[in-house]
Structure 1
Amino acid sequence: MKKPVKGKKTSAEQVVEANFDEDAIAGQITEITADVNTLLKKGKKAKIPIGMQPMLATLVDEPFDDPEWIYEVKWDGYRALGFCLKNGDVQLLSRNNKQFNEKFYPIFKLMQGWKMDIVVDGEILVINEKGISNFGNLQNWRSEADGELVYYVFDLIWYEGKDLTGLPLNERQAILSQVLPQGDDRIRLSKVFKAKGTEFFDAAIKMGLEGIIAKKEDSLYVKNNRSSEWLKIKVKLRQEVVIAGFTKNEGTSKQFSSLLLGIYQDDQLQYVGKVGTGFNDKDQKEMMAQFKPLITDKSPFLAIPDVNKPSRFRPDPPKAKATWLKPELVCEVAFTEVTSDGVFRHPSFQGMRVDKKAKEVVREVAIETKAVIQAELPGSAVRPPISTGRKTLLNPKDETQVRKVKGHELKFTHLSKLYWPEDKVSKRDMLNYYYQVADFILPYLKDRPMSLNRFPGGIHAKSFYQKDVKGKAPDWAETFPYTTSDGEAKEYLLGNDEAALLWMASLGCIEMNPWFSRSHSPDNPDYCVIDLDPDKNTFDEVIEVAQMVKEILVQMEVPCYAKTSGSTGMHIYIPLGAKYTYDQSQMFAKIIVNLVHHQVPEFTSVERMVANREGKMYLDFLQNRPGATIAGPYSLRPKPGATVSMPLDWEEVKPGMTMKDFTIFNTMDRLKETGDLFNGVLGKGIDLSKAIQKAKEVFG
Structure 2
Amino acid sequence: MRLKFIKPLMPTLVEKPPEGEEWIHEVKFDGYRSQIIKDEGGVRIFTRRGLDWTARYRNLAKVAGDLNVENAILDGEIIVLNEAGISDFRPLRNAITSRQHDLYFIAFDLLHLNGHDLRDMALEERRDILADLIPPDIRIQFSQPLPGDAASIFHLVEQAGLEGMVSKRNDSIYRSGPSTNWLKAKCHTVAEYDLLGVEREPGKPAFALMADRKTGQYVGSAFINSSRAIRERLWKRVQEHAGPAPEGLTRPATQWVKPGIIGRVKHLRGEEDLRHASFQDFREEE
The reply to whether TM is greater than 0.5 is: yes
Tell me, yes or no, if the aligned pair for 2:13 and 2:185 is still in contact at 8 Å. Answer: yes
1:103 has 2:43 as partner: no
Shift of 1:187: 1.0
Q: Separation in 1 of the partners of 2:136 and 2:97? A: 21
1:119 has 2:67 as partner: no
In the other structure, the counterpart of 2:5 is: 51
In the other structure, the counterpart of 2:154 is: 201
Q: Which amino acid aligns with 2:166?
A: I
In the other structure, the counterpart of 1:221 is: 174
In the other structure, the counterpart of 2:184 is: 232
Give 1:131-530 correspondences, 5 Å limit.
131-143=85-97, 145=99, 148-180=102-134, 182-223=135-176, 225-236=177-188, 274-277=209-212, 279=214, 311-315=235-239, 316-323=241-248, 332-335=272-275, 337=277, 345=279
Shift of 1:68: 1.2
1:67 has 2:21 as partner: yes
Tell me, yes or no, if the aligned pair for 1:237 and 1:336 is still in contact at 8 Å. Answer: no
* Root-mean-square deviation (Å): 3.2
After superposition, give the CA deviation of every residue in 1:73-119 in whole Å (9 maximum; x if it has no partner): 011111001111144x2221111112222333321222233363000
Shift of 1:52: 2.0
Give 1:8-27 correspondences, 5 Å limit.
none
Q: Rg larger in 1 or in 2? A: 1
Question: More deviation in 95-104 or 207-216?
Answer: 95-104
After superposition, give the CA deviation of every residue in 1:315-353 in whole Å (9 maximum; x if it has no partner): 3144344237xxxxxx82245635xxxxxx48xxxxxxx
Q: Separation in 2 of the partners of 1:222 and 1:168? A: 12
Tell me, yes or no, if the aligned pair for 1:64 and 1:196 is still in contact at 8 Å. Answer: no
Tell me, yes or no, if the aligned pair for 1:84 and 1:119 is still in contact at 8 Å. Answer: yes
Q: Which amino acid aligns with 1:102?
A: A
Q: Separation in 1 of the partners of 2:101 and 2:86? A: 12
Gap runs ≥5 in structure 1: 1-46, 239-256, 261-271, 285-309, 325-330, 339-344, 347-700
Q: Separation in 1 of the partners of 2:213 and 2:3? A: 38
**Higher fraction of strand:** 2
Tell me, yes or no, if the aligned pair for 1:54 and 1:95 is still in contact at 8 Å. Answer: yes
3-state SS, counterpart of residue 174 of structure 1: helix
Q: Separation in 2 of the partners of 1:158 and 1:278? A: 45
Q: Separation in 2 of the partners of 1:322 and 1:280? A: 14
Gap runs ≥5 in structure 2: 198-206, 218-233, 250-270, 281-286
Shift of 1:314: 3.0
Q: Separation in 1 of the partners of 2:95 and 2:209? A: 25
Q: Separation in 2 of the partners of 1:200 and 1:161? A: 37
Q: Separation in 1 of the partners of 2:188 and 2:90? A: 15
Shift of 1:142: 3.9
3-state SS, counterpart of residue 54 of structure 2: coil
Give 1:550-629 correspondences, 5 Å limit.
none
**Higher fraction of helix:** 1
Q: Separation in 1 of the partners of 2:184 and 2:2? A: 28
Shift of 1:64: 3.6
Tell me, yes or no, if the aligned pair for 1:70 and 1:195 is still in contact at 8 Å. Answer: no
3-state SS, counterpart of residue 79 of structure 1: strand
Shift of 1:170: 0.8
The structure with higher relative contact order (CA 8 Å, sep 6+) is: 2
In the alignment of these two chains, the number of paired residues is 230
Shift of 1:278: 5.8
Identity over aligned residues, as a percent?
28
